[in-house]
Each structure stands twice: as structure tokens, then as C-alpha cells.
Structure 1
């Protein structure tokens, strides 16, 4: 029955959910309409805010492009392919694949949410090797595995609150940083992490579609998919001139490649020795880049791998600015702050985590970035918590502030299951050579969304401070 319900939701999404770009355009109009009616911003004010916000995610967008192509290029190396072949030989059924990608993806995302790309690479390669994998559902499993990232080491909001001189401190809302022991190390977060790690893989294993007509990756690729099956090493050889040339010597020099890779390795060792486990996006991209240099051996082979990995990144390049425009409307018209102030007016000590969760969940549709979202609604929410909990002992007040901040993070992460923004990060890998769209995937995430919505709301509301 549950599988039939999942199929029904998928049919609904396929019928009514437009392309991810159209989704962004419609969300722009909805956000603009809310800004004009709720904040009484003029049409010109909204348009200016939209334009000013259009460029807010340029750095983030470029980071996403590099994350995708450097991560995907690693998978194109012979060594990694042999490793995936070995793993595929030990797996007996598609359901084991669904379970595995959710479990491994969750563990990867506890280190950094950007490691979802690694799961995407693994999932695609397993789909090419193992028969009977329902490919749209596999993509849904991979996307679902990112739910846990806010519990882990790259969680933006708790890391921000533990950063000296952050904008919350500069605004005078908090007098000191919040240690991650109170947020990521809280009993609530540890329980949340454990529940997702245990129930997530089992849930997606159980919800797997049972259908005789399975849309596999090989059938979706088809004969005209444009997939290049020529080995990278062979393509690099064919690009050489028919006679000895100095240019070919440079293009295929392992010495040049390994000197650069070694230099990058020296920097990474220095970075981690001096800063600890500071695995931010830039460091992760740089790590992928250096690893790719080692794995491909020569500049020409790496160029070919990067070219193949870059073939499907258009969604990130042109859709991210539109989401940034929505973010601009939320910030510059005061719509985000208005929502947070509304929460403050209806919340109490007992219900503030509940409303913080809902605020994070709703605003995520307009600002699908935890750090960007918290910059908009975080100050108002934390200020409201300070006012609501004014009579509490200091320790209990700090626990309530930490709970509210984590509630925003949980809500933001959960509604990613209904918001295709971060799907754009893995579709370049998983959708390459196919015509798959967000509407083919998102329906499979409705039941997991409802399950964890009830579970997380109960935990943030009733788990002891």
C-alpha cells in the first residue's frame, strides 16, 4: 500500500510539477506577491530587490560547478572504476543498492553536505552495473541522504553561531558565541542523527517501487545519449600528433602533473595541521581537484575527464541566479524579517522551537541556503527567543536559543525534499545523457518528507532541553 501511495505521489508530481527552472520562476512571482501584500513594498522596490539579489550566489554557484566537475572527474579514473566494479560484485539486488546509497550518503553528508556528489557518482556507476535498479527512485534515495547534513560537521548555522565576531554578536543579539557542544553536541542533535541514520536507509529500502517495468539507467540513456565510451587514456593517445612533438610531451607529462599535485598536497597537510578538521567548500573542491590530478596522471587525461564531467552543468549556471533573486526579495523588502517577527508574536517558551522549525522550513523555499536563510530570519528569531525566555535561568535560556537555532536548521534541511534547488547539484552527474527531470524524482520523497516532518516536529517540541 505504501509503495502504491509513493507511485501516486510520483504521478501527481509528473503531472503538475514543472521543470526546475519554471519552479524557480513561479516561486519568484509568489515571493514578489507576498512582499507587495505583506510588507507593502512597491512594485519597483520588489523589482530592485530582485535585481540586487540576482548576484548574491555567484560565488556559491561557481563552487557548486567546481564541486560537481571535480567530484565527477574522480569517478572517471580507472582506479575508482575498478573499486566500484569490486563493490558492485558484492551487491545482489537493487534494494541493497537503495539501502547502501542512503547509508553511505548519510555518513558522507555528516562530514560535509557537498559529499552528496560522491554518493551521486557511486549511485550512477552502480546503476550501470547492476540490473533492475529503478533509476529515478535511486536518485531520490541519493537526494534524501542529504537530509542529515545539518546534524554534521558542515552544518552552517551552529558553525556560524560558534564563530567569533559573527553578525549575531555584532548586532548585540547574543553576548557570546554558542559552542557547538550546545548545538551539534546536544542530546537532541545526537538523537536526531541516530534516528536518521537508522530509519532513513530502512525507510527508503521499504518504499522502493515494485514494478515489472523498471526505468533503468541503461534504458533511459538510449542509443543517442551521447555517452563517450572511449577510455580516457585511449582518447588522450588519439589526440597526439602523428609525429613526435614538444607540445605532446608537455600535454602528457606526468612530472608536471605530479609536481602540481604534490604542491597541493603540501598545502592541504598544512591546512589541516594548523586549522584542524576545517573542511569548508573551498577546501573540499581543492581536495577533489588534487585527487583528480593524481588519479588521471597526465594533464591531457585530466582535461578530457573534466570536459566529460562538465557536460551537464547548465542548470546550476543559469538557475542559481534566479534563486538568488528570490533571496534578494526576501532580504531587501524585509519579507524574511516580517515572517520571523510574526513567529515571535505567537510563540511561547514551549512552542518557540516548533515555530522556529516552521520558519526555517517555509523560508527555505525562497532561500534554499541555510547560511543565507539564517542571515535573513536568524536575528529576529534569536531576539524573539531572548524576549520570550527572559525569565529563565541562563543555562536554560542558552539551551532554548540552541534548540531554536537547530530547529531552523532541521526545518530548512527537511523541505529540501520538496525543493529542487540542491537537486541541481547532483543532476549533472546522475542525469547526464538522460532526459530525467525533477518531476520524475520528487514524488518519491513525499512520504519520507511527511514521516520526518512529524518525527522532527515531535523531537524539537518535546525532547527535554
Structure 2
């Protein structure tokens, strides 16, 4: 029955869901309309906050662009391709391909979500190439679904923020050790429950007919013009292995030194690591530049859409809309249900403002004091926000863009499956939170 529901629902979503950019623009218009209703006397303030906020994520956008391009360039190295091929060859059936994609991506998400973007997309693509019986849109959904586990991972933005001395809510909630958040027994139980049940749910959804197998994207091959200048000094510099390896070693020394000095894993360190390792393995600068150029076609949706969501977050804050949503749900909660209402609120806010750090900046200053008044542990409040933020990532196309860019699919191809999976995640997490926190 679930298979039939998933099949029909996926086709319905594929038919009517617009492009992710259209969704971003629709979200922009929606928050403006709601903002005008909230503050009809201050319309110019909303326009100003949108314009000022539009550029807030420029550094983050560039980090994501480099993450994808350096990761894809690294994946094109022959030795890396052989490793991926060997791993992908272990999955002999479609169900094995779905489970392997989910588990490999889950492991990467637990370590670092930025790493998972590249790892999940590439393993899905490699398994899709070798298993024509696997429904490729569902395979990609398997790579993206573990985004809901990010809340309990080692790079949980909210969990790490509240554990950092000097964080912006320290005066209200103090410094919360990770033993009370991402390593709390309740967090681990929810994590394991999702890790075990989601693959089962995915297999039950898997289509038996109408399989869409992986199709390599059409690429424009540049015609290389052979001439006598190929042996020129300039050509030799481009193709020598010395410069590429030396540059890569410089970067690797920096990475190793940072980890020796207890630096946390973040986007910047991952990007330098991917770049340096890619230079070493590609050897020549010319070969790496070629691989980097081929990866460049995948990242245009990110450059286009990320600034819009930055503007949306700014309008949510300046209009008071986010505050109204949060206060409305908090007002009907009790001590026993506060974490549940916080979870639901975070899920709703995340649809409009899909950024863990940005959402905590909006929600934390309101949610934590409200919880403290009811006697709720601020660590539980923080994790409820983190789980809610991760939950609706499944139905918010913002974080799916990097993976979709790598595999060459449209958001409508996977969203039908992701929406159904989000229903299961929401129900299971809500029930468990009643007992484990």
C-alpha cells in the first residue's frame, strides 16, 4: 500500500511542484505579505531589511560553491573513482543500493553536513550508474534524507553553538556541554530510531515499475587543438606534477596543524582539505583546473537562490512574524509539552528560514526564556529546536540544491518521497520526545 501511495504522490508532486527558484520567490512574496499585515505602518523597513539581509550569506554561498566544486573535482580523480566503484559494486539489488546510499550518507551527515553533501550525491550517482533496477530519484532521496540526523551529529550547529563559551545566549542559559545535547541519551535514542526505521520506510516506498534509471548528463566536450606549442614552457608548467603536489602539500600541512591545535571541523577546513587533496591526486595544475571547470556547471542554483533565503530570514526578524509564531505556540504549551511545541514551531519556522544558525538566532532568544519560566531545561529546548530545524529540511528545497546540482535532477523528482518521509520523521520524533527528554 505504501508503495502505491508513494508512486501516486510522487507523480502528483512531480507534475505540480515548481522549480526551487520559483519556491524561493514565492516564499519571499509570502513573508512580505505577512510582514505588511504584521506592520502595515512600516513597509519601507521590510524592504530595507530584505535588501540588507540579501547579502548576509555571501561568504556562506561561496563556501558551498567551493565545497561542491572541490568535492566533485576530488571525486573525478581515478583512484577515488575506483574506491567509489568498489563500494558501489557491493550493492547487487535495488534495495541494497537504497540502503547503502542512506547509510553512507548518514555516516557522512553525522561527521559533518558539508562533507555529506558531496559524499551522498556522489555515492548515489555511482550506485545509480551500476544498478539500473534502482529508481534514481528515490536513490537521490536516500542520499538527502539523512539531513534529519544532522541535529544529533558532530557538527550540529545549535548543539555546538550552546557549548561554546561566549555564545550570544550564555547569560540566559549558560554554556551547555554536548553531553546534555547531542550526546544526551534521548538524542541518541531518537537518532537510532530514525536510522533504523527510515531505510525500512524507503524500501516500502520503492517503486516496482516505471523505474527511472540514472542517465549521465549531456556534457559539451571541448575540442582540443593539437599544435606544436604543446611542448612549450607554458604547457610544461601546466602539466608538471611538481607544482600541483607542492601546492597541495602546503594546504595539507595547514589542515594538519589546525587539527593538532584542536580546531573543529567546519566548511573552511573541509574546503581546504578537499582542494589540497585534489591537487595532490590530480598532480598537474592543468588537470585540476579542467576538473574544476567541469564541476562548475552544477552550482548555479546555489548562487542564485541562497541570497533570497538570506533576505527572507531578515524580513522574518524585522516584521515580527517569527516572534508571533514562536510566542503563539509557546503560550499554549505546558512543561510536559513545551519541547513538542518547540519542535513543531522550529519545523514551521525552518520552512521559511532554512538555516540552523539563523533560526537559532531568531528562535533561541524567545524560546529559551519561555522554557525557563516553565522549568524546562534549556538544553532540551535547544535540541527541540535542532530536531525541528532538521525535520522540515526534507520539505524545504534549500538544502537539497547542492545534491541535486551534482546528480542533475530537479527538486520535483525527489520531493514526493521526501514529503512522505517527513511525515514519518515528524510522527516518530514527536512520540519519542514525549518520553526521552
SS of equivalent to 1:146: helix
**d(CA) in 2 for partners of 1:462 and 1:32?**
39
User: Per-residue displacement from partner, 1:267-316 (whole Å, max 9, x unpaired)?
Assistant: 1111111115x111111111111111122111001001001111121100
**Residues in 2 aligned to 1:88 and 1:167: alpha-carbon distance in whole angstroms:** 44
Residues in 1 aligned to 2:71 and 2:77: alpha-carbon distance in whole angstroms? 11
Whether the 8 Å CA contact 1:240–1:248 is kept in 2: the answer is no
2:255 corresponds to 1:268: yes
Higher deviation after alignment, 122-131 or 378-387: 122-131
Counterparts of 1:372-391 in structure 2 under 5 Å? 372-389=358-375
Q: Is 1:216 aligned to residue 210 of structure 2?
A: no
**What is the CA–CA distance in structure 2 between the aligned matches of 1:241 and 1:177, rounded to whole Å?**
66
Q: Does 1:349 align with 2:322?
A: no
The correspondence for 1:204, drawn from 197, 202, 205, is: 202
Please, which runs of 5 or more residues in structure 2 have no aligned partner?
none
Output aligned runs, 1:37-436, within 5 Å: 37-40=37-40, 42-116=42-116, 117-169=118-170, 172-174=171-173, 176-211=174-209, 213-218=210-215, 221=217, 225-226=218-219, 228=221, 241-275=228-262, 278-389=264-375, 397=376, 400-431=377-408, 436=409
Contact 2:282–2:288 (8 Å) recurs in 1: yes
Relative distance call for 1:238 and 1:107 in structure 2 (3 A) is: farther
Aligned equivalents of 2:384 and 2:317: distance in 1? 21
- Residue 81 of structure 1 deviates from its aligned partner by 1.3
CA distance in 2: counterparts of 1:252 and 1:145, whole angstroms: 40
Single out whichever of 331-340 and 180-189 deviates more from structure 2. Answer: 331-340
CA deviation profile, 1:150-201 (whole Å, cap 9, x unmatched): 11111000111011111112xx322x20111100111111111211222222
* Aligned CA distance change for structure 1 residues 358 and 215 (closer, same or farther; 3 Å): same
Equivalents in 1 of 2:425, 2:60: separation in Å? Answer: 28
**Equivalent residues, number:** 436
Q: Structure 1 unaligned runs (5+)?
A: 390-396
Superposition deviation, residue 241 in structure 1: 5.0
Q: Is the 8 A contact 1:403 1:460 kept in 2?
A: no
The whole-number CA distance in structure 1 between the counterparts of 2:90 and 2:329 is 51
Deviations 1:65-110 (A, max 9, x none): 1111111111111111112222233321122111101011001100
The Cα shift of 1:386 comes to 1.4
Q: Distance in 2 between matches of 1:421 and 1:23?
A: 9
1:453 lines up with 2:409 in the alignment: no
Shift of 1:408: 0.8
* Distance (whole Å) between structure 2 residues aligned to residue 126 and residue 239 of structure 1: 36
- Whether contact under 8 Å (2:356, 2:389) holds in the other structure is yes
Q: Give 1:402 deviation, angstroms.
A: 1.1
* Alpha-carbon distance, 1:17 to partner: 1.3
- Taking the aligned partners of 1:132 and 1:59, their CA distance within structure 2 comes to 41
Change (3 A) 1:243 1:455: closer
Per-residue deviation at 1:39? 4.5
Q: Give the TM-score normalised by the residue count of structure 1.
A: 0.90
Q: Distance in 2 between matches of 1:103 and 1:240?
A: 49
Q: Is the 8 Å Cα contact of residues 7 and 205 (structure 2) preserved in structure 1? A: no
